[in-house]
Amino acid sequence: MYVAENCTDYKLQFERVFSVPGDVAMLRSTLVSSDVFDFKTVPYNITWYNSVSGQEISSQAGHILVHEDTLWFLKVTMNDSGDYVTILRTPSHCYREASRLVVEERLPGECGMPRKAEQLLTKGVTDNLSCPLRNEMNKLNSYNISSSIKWYRGCDSIEDGTGGYEYWGTRLKIISVELQHKGTYTCTLTFTLGGIEGSVSETINAEVKESYSLVPQVHEPSNEVIKAQSGYNFTKRCLVFVPGVGKPFVDIYWLDKDGFIDTNTSHRVHMLEQRLLPQNGSSKGAWLETWLIFSELREEDFYVNYTCRAYSDRGFPERYFSLQPEDPSGIAIGSVLGGMMVLFIITVTLYYLFKIEIVLWFRRAFPVFYKNKDLDGKLYDAYVAYPQPCDLGFSKDVETFALQTLPHVLEKACDYKLFIAGRDCLPGQAMVDSVEENIQASRRVLLLYTASSFTTKRHTSSTSSNNNNISKSGECGDESQRHASDSFSITSSDVSDKVCTDTRQQLECVAAMHRVLIEGSLKVVLVELEEITPAQLALFPESVRHLRKKQGAVCWWKNQRTRQRWKTCMSGADVEKTGKDSQLSASLSPSSRFWKEL
């Protein structure tokens, strides 16, 4: 039973809901609003009441549906006309509001609703009518209930795409409006709610107007800088074209930093009254102009933007110009601009050549701008992934680089902490667990590879569609029994070759690429140990090719090529002293460009 509670009363809503018998009607409370209370954090409930009987309203099959802040009448009757009260209660307060439903009989011999909305169409252009049922459509969409709109002109149905009419969402587009398009149009929204198929309609009384104005176009000024001499007079025109038919309802004004410029001609700076220029040409529209007058230019007039703005109900387009004092020689300004350009080019060139050195210096000079990595819960700075002895692309040189060269420079010289599979694995730990846990505990993944890491001499691709056949044992078997994942495929060797059924490198790559490409939770650094030809690159996994194209790779072979040039100048004794001349022999100086880039 509705009782008078001490609630904040918002009285009767100004907007009424009009309906006819047999239609669907929707009453919606406006109390669920941030203007009333903080509905996002404060719990609340809503109850609907009949203002006459005081009885609480609940859902009735086939007639009434109560859904939070919305009261639906599925089959409106004349008896439903009246006021309905909404009470919204929170733990500490309550709010009250009334909504009014007006039910009217249809007018005899007339199609559409008794109450009609007024809308205007513009003659000679493509215009549209907007269906006033947007609230109902939005509410149905929030229920995930599909609905459809049908348009009528008078009593006749309008088919989409015929007779110059097109359905355009909730609008009816009319191509090239003419006087005969004047009349009544009805949009009917049909849907199924509460097990009942119903509809709600709105009727529009469309009038056609012959005169119109579109968005004004400011042709002068043109956002320019003008040189002028102090002490002389100066004038500037504002020229505006208004597309349309009939006299344009547009006002043009000049503005400076202090606001509107006066039309009083006794002022040193003033504007003239706008005037309509004679129409010329076949274009539909009108030209308007007004002039800005400086009877004498002074120092305070320079370096100020003077704006011409056109005011219309279609918008406020504007353009401006500014004044600068004339420089007789122009040499000083040209020299300054030329010097700045040369300095800019030199700065960009130096940054391109020494970008890595600049970044590393900035990190050392301003460590406060970088997060403290010790607080992120990670155990390792990098996880080193490389082909293991039973992998297809295993290389003794790559293993030496991973187990000796990287630790010597990154751990001993640079104080990084690395996880290296051939060195740091726990005895007896399953391969999948080892890969997952240690990648999760690392900030980066260093993926070491050569041309043979993902390809073999036969270059025969073998890809399986099963992405879940990953063995936890890591035992070796025949190549014909191995399966690769869809996201990271590797090529097969001869059937007689012995490789791991699921190589550690494959698991590392799958896990790393998933995190970097799908989750975006990890960064992978590609370390390219030898030069890759386009033909070899084409056989790489698609994920590696994509990442290499997106972020590039740190290339060890470029460092080796530079060192080879120096070796040509060394004596034979020097070569013997350096030991084996391997392509992957380490340059152990942390100051070399390769290590700086890494």
Q: Are residues 446 and 541 in the same domain?
A: yes
Quick one: pLDDT at residue 560? 67
Quick one: pLDDT at residue 237? 94
DSSP 123-136: TTS-EEEE-S-HHH
Q: Which residues contact 593 (CB under 8 A, 6 or more apart)?
A: 356, 559
Question: Are 272 and 291 in contact, with CB atoms under 8 Å apart?
Answer: yes
Distance (Å, whole) CA 44 – CA 275: 61
Question: Are 256 and 225 in contact, with CB atoms under 8 Å apart?
Answer: no
Query: Is 466 contained in some domain?
Result: yes
Q: Are residues 75 and 199 in the same domain?
A: no
In terms of Cβ atoms closer than 10 Å to its own Cβ (0-12, 13-18, 19+), residue 439 is buried
Question: Are 29 and 139 in contact, with CB atoms under 8 Å apart?
Answer: no
Q: Are residues 443 and 494 in the same domain?
A: yes
| Last residue in a domain, options 262, 290, 325 | 325
Quick one: pLDDT at residue 375? 67
Distance (Å, whole) CA 456 – CA 445: 24
Angle between helices 331-353 and 355-365 (to 10 degrees): 80
Quick one: pLDDT at residue 2? 59
Phi–psi pair at 317, nearest 5 degrees: -65, 150
Quick one: pLDDT at residue 374? 63
Question: Are 74 and 192 in contact, with CB atoms under 8 Å apart?
Answer: no
Tokens of 431: 């391969």
Q: Which residues contact 522 (CB under 8 A, 6 or more apart)?
A: 439, 444, 445, 512, 515, 516
Q: Provide the 3-class DSSP secondary structure of residue 191.
A: strand
Omega within 30 of 0 (cis) for the link into 221: yes
Quick one: pLDDT at residue 492? 36
Q: Are residues 98 and 80 in the same domain?
A: yes
Q: Note down the domain range covering 353.
A: 334-369
Q: Are residues 412 and 391 in the same domain?
A: yes
Q: Are residues 419 and 541 in the same domain?
A: yes
- Give counts: helices (H), strands (E), the chain: 13, 36
| Last residue in a domain, options 50, 77, 103 | 103
Q: Are residues 403 and 547 in the same domain?
A: yes
Quick one: pLDDT at residue 19? 94
Q: Are residues 83 and 217 in the same domain?
A: no
Question: Are 490 and 506 in contact, with CB atoms under 8 Å apart?
Answer: yes
Distance (Å, whole) CA 23 – CA 187: 13
Query: Is 2 contained in some domain?
Result: no
Q: Are residues 254 and 284 in the same domain?
A: yes
Quick one: pLDDT at residue 493? 37
Query: Is 3 contained in some domain?
Result: no
- The model's pTM is 0.43
Among all chains, which residue has been given the structure tokens 């409370």? 29
Query: Is 579 contained in some domain?
Result: no
Q: Which residues contact 18 (CB under 8 A, 6 or more apart)?
A: 102, 103, 104, 113, 114, 115
Domain count along the chain: 5
Query: Is 591 contained in some domain?
Result: no
Q: How far does CA 245 lie from the centroid of its chain?
A: 40
Among all chains, which residue has been given the structure tokens 């104080």? 415
CATH number where 59 lies: 2.60.40.10
pLDDT digits (tens, 9 = 90+) for 242-257: 888 777 889 999 999 8
Tokens of 553: 């790779």
Quick one: pLDDT at residue 54? 85
Query: Is 167 contained in some domain?
Result: yes
Quick one: pLDDT at residue 458? 36
Query: Is 584 contained in some domain?
Result: no
Distance (Å, whole) CA 459 – CA 533: 14
Q: Are residues 264 and 171 in the same domain?
A: no
Q: Are residues 348 and 394 in the same domain?
A: no
Q: Are residues 84 and 153 in the same domain?
A: no
Regions of the chain where pLDDT drops below 50: 331, 457-502, 566, 569, 571-573, 575-586
Distances (CA, A) of 268 to 235, 263, 296, 303, 425: 12, 11, 7, 18, 86
Distance (Å, whole) CA 410 – CA 590: 8
Query: Is 196 contained in some domain?
Result: yes
CB atoms within 10 A of CB 384: 26
pLDDT digits (tens, 9 = 90+) for 395-412: 788 888 888 888 888 888
| Last residue in a domain, options 345, 369, 393 | 369
- For the CA atoms of 143, 145, 151, 152, the dihedral, rounded to the nearest 10 degrees, stands at -100
CATH number where 428 lies: 3.40.50.10140
Distance (Å, whole) CA 499 – CA 477: 6
